[in-house]
Amino acid sequence: MTELAQNLIDALALGSLYALIALGVTLVYSVMDMMNFAHGEFIMLSAYALYVLAGVPFGVALGGALATGVLIAVAAELVAFRPVRKADMSAQLVTSLAVATILQNVVMAAVDARPKSVATPSVVSETTQVGALSISNLEFITLGMTAIVLGGFGWLLYRTRAGLAMRAAAENFDMARLLGVRADPVIALSFAISGALAAVVGVLLVMQTGQVSPTMGLTPVLIGFVAVTIGGFGRMLGAVIGGLLLGAASSLLGSYLPADLLPFRDAIVFSLPVAILVFKPQGLLGAATGEARV
Amino acid sequence: MLELRGTRVAYRGVEVVHGVDLGIAPGEVVGMVGPNGAGKSSVLRAICGLLRPSAGEVLFEGRALNGMAPERIARLGLALVPEGRQVFRTLTVAENLRLGAWDAERGEAAIEPVLERFPILRERAGEHADRLSGGEQQQLAIARALLSRPRLLILDEPSLGLAPKTIDTIYELLAELREEGTTMLLVEQNAVRTIDFCDRCLVLGSGRVRAEGKREELRGDNDVVRAYLGGAVERQTSDGGMGR
Amino acid sequence: MSAVRLRSRSSLAVSALAPLVLIALTMAIGASGTPSLRGTVITILCEMIVVLGLQVFVGNSGVYSFGQLGFASAGAYAAALLTLPAAFVALQTPGLPDLIEDAQLGALGSTAVVAVACGVLAAIVGLPLMRTSTLAIPISTFAFLIVAYNVIANWDRVTGGSGGLVSIPRTTGIVSAGLWAAGAVAVALAYKWSTGGYRLQATREDEVAARSLGIGVTGERLVAFALSGMLCGVGGALAVHQSGVLAPTTFYFVASVTTLTMMVAGGARSVFGAVLGTIAVASVNEALRGVEGGADVLGLFSIGNTPGLAAIGVGLILLATMVALPDGLTGGREAGELPWLGRLLGRTPVGDLAAPRFVAPMGTQKQAAATRAPAERAGALNARGIAVSFGGLRVLRGVDLTLRPGEALGLIGPNGAGKTTLVNVLSGFLAPDAGTVELDGVDVGGRSPARLARDGLTRTFQGALPFPQLSCLESVAVGAMGVGARRGKAVAVAAEVLARLGLSERSSHPAGSLPPAEQRLLGVARTLATNPRYLLLDEPAAGLNEAEGEELVAILRGVLEGFGCGILLIEHEMSVVMSLCPQVQVLDDGVTLRVGAPAEIQADPAVIEAYLGSSYMEVANA
C-alpha cells in the first residue's frame, strides 16, 4: 500500500514537472501558432546560470536563473522569430531548431561539452517522513513550485490586464488588435513568461541531477511537444493534462517495469502519444477553436 | 473625416476592389450596400489596417492609414464591429467589454455608462460570451466598439444571421447613436433598410461603385436591382455565345 | 502530332544530368586529393544519400519529418552486423540470432539487404505516423527518433549498447559512394516525376483540393516515407562502412539538424537542391571543423579552441535560410527549370510572361465532336431534403437539387443562405444531418471527396490557387492522375483540356505565375481532367471584370458541349450566371426560394426581397 502511494507521488511529481514544460511550450504556441524547439535551450541556459553563479547565495543564483530564462527568451523572439512571424508552423519550427542548435553549441564552445556538476543546498536531497511514506524534499519542492507556478500563471492570465490581452490574442489576434491590443508587447510577454517557466524547470532539473550539460534541454522540449500534441494544440489545460499523463506514465513505468525492460522506458513512453494521435488526431481535448480571423 | 481615393484592394493575390472613392463627413451616417463578392468587407478591412491597399489612399482626418498597424488605427478613433460579430467566446462578457475599453481615456470607468444602454449585458456580465444569443452577441460587439468612444464607428453586416425582430432592436440602437451624432459607416447586404436608414449610400458591385446617392434617389432605382441581380438577360445571344 | 511532354527534352536532360555532374565532380576532387580529402568526400556522398532520402519525403509532401535519421541508424547497424565477421559479432553483440551472427555479406550485398529492410521498416513505422494529422507528423516523427535512439542505445545484446560497434569493415570507396549517390538521385527524380510523386506534390500545394481530385493523402505520404527510409538506410550503411565505427549518437540529433540544413539550404523541393545543398553546407561544415581546434585565419586573426563551431555555423546557415531564403539556393527548382541556366542555354526564361492575355478557344465545338464523345445524357445528381445544422444554427433546412449532365444550373442566394454548405455536402466534405444524395441512381451518402471524384463528381474551391509550384500542364495532369490515369494518359488529357480552354501557351509556366483570371480557368481545367460527369464550380468569376466574365461564360459553354458534364455554378456575378444557366436555383436562409429561368428569377419579387430587403418593390412602386 505504501509502495503504491509512494509511486503515485513520484508519478505526480514527474507529471508536474512535465506539465510545467508543456505549459511553456503551449503558451507561445497559442499566441503565435509556433512550436518553439528552442524552449529546451531556455531551460538549459537557465540551468547554466546556476553553474555560473556557483558560490553565490542560492537565492541570488535562483534569481539569476530566472532572469536568464526571461532574457534569452525575449531576445530570441526579437532576433530570430520576429522575421518569420508570418511563416507557417513548420517553417517556424525549423527556425527554432536552428536557434536551438546555435545556443547549444555556443554553450559547448564557451563552457564545455561535458556535463558539469552544480552544488545545490543539501536540504534538497534529503527526505522527509510523512506517516509511513518517505518523500524526497525535491518532490515536495517540485509539487510546491508547480502549484505556485500554476496558481501564479492562472492569476496572471485571469486577473491581470496583460493576461486578458494574452487570452484575447490567443483566441483571435486580429480582433484583439482591432481593439487596440498591441501585438509586439503581447508576444514579448508570452515569450518572457515562457522563459520564466523554462527557468523553473531548469532549476528543478539541476536539483534533481546535480549537473548541467549542453544537451540537457533536448529531452524536456520533446516531452513538452509531445504533451502539447496529445493534449490538443493550443489548449493550456490540454498541455497540463498531457504533461501529467506523460510524466505519470513515465514514472509508473519506471516503478513497475521488469528490470530488463527498464532501459526501454523512454521508448515506450514516446510511443504512447502516437497511439493516442491515431485515434484522436486532434489530441485528447481537441485543438483550440482557432477562431477565424476577422 | 474619412476619405478613400482610388482605393484598390487585393485579397490573396486577386484584386477585389478596383478603385473606390468614398468620403464621410463628421456626423454623417453612410451606407455601403451590394451583393456578395462586391468587395464591401475588403474595403472595411483596408480601412482598419487588416489589409493593405494595393493602390490609392485611405485618409482619416487627413492622415494616411495605408500600412498602419491595426492597433494604431484603432487608437486614432476608428472602431469596427466586424462581420459575424467576433466576440471572444472563451472570455466572459465583462472581459469582452474590458477589451473594448482597452485604450479608453477613463479606462474601465467607461464601461458602466455604456452598460446603461445594454441592460442585457449587465445581467449576463459574468457569463462566457459563447452563451449569448446572436442578437446579444451583436449588442456585445457594438457595446465593445462604443467603449472606446470612437470618432468613426464601422459596422460590417450587423443584421447577418439575426431574426427580423432582433434586427429591429439593433437598428433602434443605431438610430439612437445617430441622434447623438456618432459618425457611422454601415455595410449591409440588406439594401432597403440601409438605404432607408443612412443619409447617403454607395452601391458596390464587382469591386466598383455602381450607384451613389441619398435615400430618395436610390429607392426604387433599377440600377440598384441590376447591381444585385444582373439584368443582362438581353445580353444572352442565341448563337451559343461565341459571337459578340 | 508530337506527343505532349511534361517538360521539354532539354529541360529533362539538364535536370537529370546536373546532379550527376555535380556528383562526378565531387568524386573527381576527392580522388585527386589527399587521403583526408578522399575521406571527407566519401562522407559527403554518404550524407548526400541521406539528404536525398529526406528530400523524397519532405520536399514532395511539404511535411517535415525529423525521424529519418532513425532509419539511417537502423540501416547502419544492420549493415555493420551483416558484414562483421562472426567472431566479432559474437563478442560485441552476443544476443543476435545465429543467422545474422554468421552472415557475412559483402559491401554490395549488405547495402542491398539494408535498402529493402529499411524500406519495409519505414513502411511499418509510417503506417500509424502518416495517419496522424498534418500538424502532428513532425512531432510524432521526432518521437520516433527518440524511440529509435533509446532502443538502439539500450539493447546491448543486439547493438552493443551505448558503446556502439567497432572494427566494421571499411569498404566504402569513392566509386561505390558515388554510384550509390547517383542511384539515389535517379530514385528521387523518378519518384518526383511519377504519378505517385505528382499526387503527393499536389497534397503539398493544396491538401484539400488534392483530396477533392481523388488523391489519398495518407497513402501517398506512406509511399514517400517508405522510399525515404530506404534511401536513409542506404546512406547509413555506406557511412558506417567508411568510418568503421558506430554509436547510437552517430545518427541522432546533430546529424538530423545537419542533414535538414543541407536539404533546406539547397531548396527542399528540388533533387538538384539536395545535392547542391549537401555539398555547400558540408564544405562550410568541414572548413569550420578544421578551425575548431584553433587556427590562424588568413594571418589576420586567430580563433581559439572552440568545439561546436561547425555546428554553430550550420545552425546559422539554417537560420539565415529560413529568414531570408526559405526556398533555398535553387528556389525549389530542378536544374532544367532554373532561369539563369536557361538563359545560358539560350532559351527564353519561363518566368517572364508576355502581357497576360485571355484567349477564347477557337473551334471548340468542332474539336469536341472529333475527339470525344459527350457523356451519357442519362442519369442525374439528385439531392433530396438536405439539412445541416451547426451548433444551434440551422444552415440548410431541407433543400432539393437536381443536376443533369450537359446542363448548367446556377445556384445563387444572399450571404449566409447555405450555398457553400450545400456544395460541401454534395462533394463529400460534409455529412448532412438529414437527406440523401444520389449519383446516377446510387446513394453516395458518406463517400469521401476522393471517392466521389473517381465516381465522376468534382468541385473547385473559392479563391484557391491551383498548385502554384507545379507547371500548368503538371497541375492539370494531377487531376487526371488523381482518378487513376497513368502518366502518359494524364499528360495527354491535360494537354487536351488546356487546349480547349485556350491555355496551351502556358503549359510550362508555373501555375502561380499566371494572372488571376487564368488561374481561375486553370482550376476549372484541373477538375475537367478528372473526367467529371458533374462539375461544381464555386465562384469561378470572383474578381473578374466584365470582359473576362464573358470569356468565362463562353468557355464554360464550350465545356458543357465538349465534355458533356453537368455544371453547378455558384456565383454572385449575376451576369455570368444569367447568361450561362438556363435554370437558376435561389437559396435563402437554408431553403430553396425559387427555381426557374433567369428572366423569371430576376423579376421575382420574393427573390428581390431576399437580396435587397423587404418590400423593395413596394417602395419602388410607391
C379-456+532-622 CATH fold = Rossmann fold (3.40.50)
Q: Grid coordinates representing B87?
A: 466576440
Q: Name the percent of chain B lying above pLDDT 70.
A: 88
pLDDT, position B35 = 76
Residues C88/C167, Cβ–Cβ less than 8 Å? yes
Residues C150/A267, Cβ–Cβ less than 8 Å? yes
pLDDT, position C228 = 97
Q: Name the percent of chain C lying above pLDDT 70.
A: 88
In a domain, A290, yes or no: no
Residue C377 has pLDDT above 60, yes or no: no
Residues of chain A with pLDDT under 50: 290-294
Confidence class for position B236, pLDDT limits 50, 70, 90: very low
The minimum CA-CA distance between A127 and chain C, rounded to whole Å, is 31
Question: From its phi and psi, is residue C549 left (phi > 0), alpha (psi between -120 and 50) or beta?
Answer: alpha
The minimum CA-CA distance between A96 and chain C, rounded to whole Å, is 8
In a domain, A234, yes or no: yes
Q: Which are the contacts of C167, defined by CB distance < 8 A and separation ≥ 6? A: C84, C88, C244
**Segment among A84-88, B179-183, C52-56, C261-265 with least mean pLDDT:** A84-88
| H or E element, residue A148 | helix A137-159
Contact check, Cβ <8 Å, C611/B157: no
> CA of B148: which chain A residue's CA is closest?
A179
pLDDT, position C185 = 96
Contact check, Cβ <8 Å, C607/B229: yes
Using CA atoms, how far residue B8 sits from A158, B3, B5, B67, C423, in Å, is 42, 13, 9, 13, 31
- List the CATH number of the domain containing A181: 1.10.3470
Task: Name which of C358, C411, C546, C616 to mutate to probe chain B: the one with the most chain B Cβ atoms within 10 A of its Cβ.
Answer: C616
Task: Name which of B130, B228, B238 to mutate to probe chain C: the one with the most chain C Cβ atoms within 10 A of its Cβ.
Answer: B228
Residue B72 has pLDDT above 50, yes or no: yes
Residue C366 has pLDDT above 70, yes or no: no
Q: Which of A167, A168, A183 lies closest to B71 in CB terms?
A: A183
Note whether C431 contacts B: Cβ–Cβ < 8 A.
Answer: no
Residues A196/A63, Cβ–Cβ less than 8 Å? no
Give the domain ranges of chain C.
Answer: 9-252, 379-456+532-622, 464-531
Residues B136/B142, Cβ–Cβ less than 8 Å? no
The minimum CA-CA distance between A13 and chain B, rounded to whole Å, is 30
Pairwise pLDDT comparison (C355 vs B179), residue with the higher score: B179
CA C491 – CA C425 distance, rounded (Å)? 31
Contact check, Cβ <8 Å, B241/C613: no
Average pLDDT over residues C350-368: 36
CA C193 – CA A16 distance, rounded (Å)? 50
Counting one residue from chain B and one from chain C, the pairs whose CB atoms sit within 8 A come to 111
Using CA atoms, how far residue C546 sits from A104, B234, C356, in Å, is 59, 15, 16
Residue B234 has pLDDT above 50, yes or no: no
> pLDDT tens-digit profile of B99-152?
888 877 667 777 888 888 888 888 888 888 888 888 888 889 998 888 888 889
Q: Which residues of A256-280 are buried (b: 16+ CB within 10 A; e: fewer)?
A: eeeeeeebbbbbbbbbbbbebbbee
**Segment among A164-168, C42-46, C60-64, C361-365 with least mean pLDDT:** C361-365
pLDDT, position B220 = 65
Contact check, Cβ <8 Å, B88/A289: no
Q: Grid coordinates representing B84?
A: 459575424
Contact check, Cβ <8 Å, C309/A97: no
Contact check, Cβ <8 Å, A101/C318: yes
pLDDT, position C272 = 94
Displacement of CA B194 from its chain's centroid (Å): 11
Note whether C465 contacts B: Cβ–Cβ < 8 A.
Answer: yes
Confidence class for position C370, pLDDT limits 50, 70, 90: very low
pLDDT, position C154 = 87
Question: What's the total number of domains in chain A?
Answer: 1
pLDDT, position A9 = 86
| A78-A80-A84 Cα angle (round to 5) | 100
The minimum CA-CA distance between C147 and chain A, rounded to whole Å, is 4
Q: Which of B192, B206, B229 lies closest to C602 in CB terms?
A: B229
Give the domain ranges of chain B.
Answer: 2-231
Task: Name which of A277, A279, A280, A284 to mutate to probe chain C: the one with the most chain C Cβ atoms within 10 A of its Cβ.
Answer: A277
> CA of B42: which chain A residue's CA is closest?
A294
Q: What is the 3-state secondary structure (H, E, C) of C370-409?
A: HHCCCCCCCCCEEEEEEEEEECCEEEEEEEEEEECCCCEE
C-chain residues within 8 Å CB-CB of A222? 142-143, 146
Instruction: For residue A205, count other CB atoms closer than 10 A to its CB.
Output: 23
Contact check, Cβ <8 Å, C311/A84: no
Contact check, Cβ <8 Å, A183/B69: yes
Contact check, Cβ <8 Å, B230/C622: no
> pLDDT tens-digit profile of C142-178?
889 989 999 998 888 788 888 888 888 888 888 999 9
Confidence class for position B239, pLDDT limits 50, 70, 90: very low
In a domain, A197, yes or no: yes
The minimum CA-CA distance between C416 and chain B, rounded to whole Å, is 7
C-chain residues within 8 Å CB-CB of B18? 545
**E-state strands within A202-284:** 211-212
In a domain, A291, yes or no: no
Task: Name which of C57, C61, C141, C142 to mutate to probe chain A: the one with the most chain A Cβ atoms within 10 A of its Cβ.
Answer: C142
Contact check, Cβ <8 Å, B232/C578: yes
Q: Name the percent of chain C lying above pLDDT 90.
A: 33
Phi and psi, residue C387, nearest 5°: -130, 135
CA A96 – CA A108 distance, rounded (Å)? 18
The minimum CA-CA distance between A89 and chain C, rounded to whole Å, is 8
> pLDDT tens-digit profile of A209-253?
888 999 899 889 988 988 888 887 777 888 889 899 989 988 888
> CA of C392: which chain B residue's CA is closest?
B133
> pLDDT tens-digit profile of C407-445?
999 998 887 788 889 999 999 999 999 999 998 888 888
Q: Model's pTM, two decimal places? A: 0.84
Residue C362 has pLDDT above 50, yes or no: no
Contact check, Cβ <8 Å, B207/C614: no
Contact check, Cβ <8 Å, B86/A294: yes
Q: Which of A91, A102, A233 lies closest to C135 in CB terms?
A: A233
Contact check, Cβ <8 Å, B190/C598: no
In a domain, A293, yes or no: no
- The whole-chain average pLDDT of chain C stands at 83
Q: Which of B15, B206, B228 lies closest to C612 in CB terms?
A: B228
In a domain, A287, yes or no: no
Contact check, Cβ <8 Å, C465/B228: no
A-chain residues within 8 Å CB-CB of B130? none
Contact check, Cβ <8 Å, C140/A229: yes
pLDDT, position A293 = 33
* Burial tier of A159 (Cβ tally within 10 Å: 0-12, 13-18, 19+): exposed
Residue corresponding to grid cell 458534364 = C565
pLDDT, position A205 = 92
In a domain, A285, yes or no: no
CATH architecture of B2-231: 3-Layer(aba) Sandwich (3.40)
Task: Name which of B192, B201, B235 to mutate to probe chain C: the one with the most chain C Cβ atoms within 10 A of its Cβ.
Answer: B192
Q: Which chains touch A (3 or more CB pairs under 8 A)?
A: B, C
Residue C401 has pLDDT above 90, yes or no: yes
Q: Which chains touch C (3 or more CB pairs under 8 A)?
A: A, B
